[in-house]
Amino acid sequence: MTETIEITGSNQRMDRAQAVPAIVGNHRDFLIVTGLAGTAQDMYAIEPDADNCFLLGGAMGASVSMGLGLALARPDKHILVMCGDGELLMNVGALATVMASGVTNMSILCVDNERYGETGNQITHTSMGTDLALTAKGLGIKNVMTVTAPDEIEAGRKELRRADGPTFVYLKISDAKPPKMSSRNFNAADRRIAFRRAQLGHL
């Protein structure tokens, strides 16, 4: 099956608002941690305040490590981290720690628009030659896949669900600035409690 996804932007890549939901698929297959900006908006657009997701609003660089803590604590669940290229670049060593931890129940979807979208769409290092899939491979992540075209989305969706992780899926998307979405819930204490109540059954 080939997904219908528009190609846009100066880099002529897939539209973010279509590609990200398509590759995530049913988000209830995962417990999810997202980065602070674009990927939080992506997830919020899929389902606002979903109780299996924790969306960062700051603490840039936290998403992979937070997902790792969750993966260690919940071996019965598959953990998905959704992070942007800027977010990952800020703490790229966290991928080495994921490798060293030995977790298998964790996937990372790196949504790479080659831009710092929150701060004025400045280019990131990935537009200048950095390949975060090669980085992930080099840091020891077991399964690594780059997805650049609509006909690769389905394979990426399956890859994210591999039981023998850790898995890194590198989704290359358009650098066109996405339309501003409705304002999300930035109250981290509220979201922590909602997540724990839903996933643990207690405060």
Would you tell me which residues interact with another protein (CB under 8 A)?
31, 33, 54, 56-74, 77, 91, 93-94, 96-97, 100-101, 187-189, 191-193, 195-196, 199-200
Please give the full DSSP string across 86-155, using - where no structure is assigned: HHHHHTTTHHHHHHHHT--SEEEEEEE-SEEGGGT-EE-GGGTT--HHHHHHHTT-SEEEEE-SGGGHHH
CB-nearer residue toward another protein: 14 or 94? 94
User: How far, in Å, CA of 80 to CA of 98, rounded?
Assistant: 13
We find the least distance from the C-beta atom of residue 48 to another protein, in angstroms, to be 18
Task: Give min distance, CB of 195 to another protein, in A.
Answer: 5
CB of 58 to another protein, least distance (A): 5
Task: Select 45 or 96, whichever has its Cβ closest to another protein.
Answer: 96
Q: Which CB, 129 or 201, lies closer to another protein?
A: 201
CA-to-CA distance for 166 and 198, rounded, in angstroms? Answer: 25
**Do residues 109 and 171 make contact, with C-beta atoms less than 8 angstroms apart?**
yes
Nearer to another protein by Cβ, of 59 and 176: the residue is 59
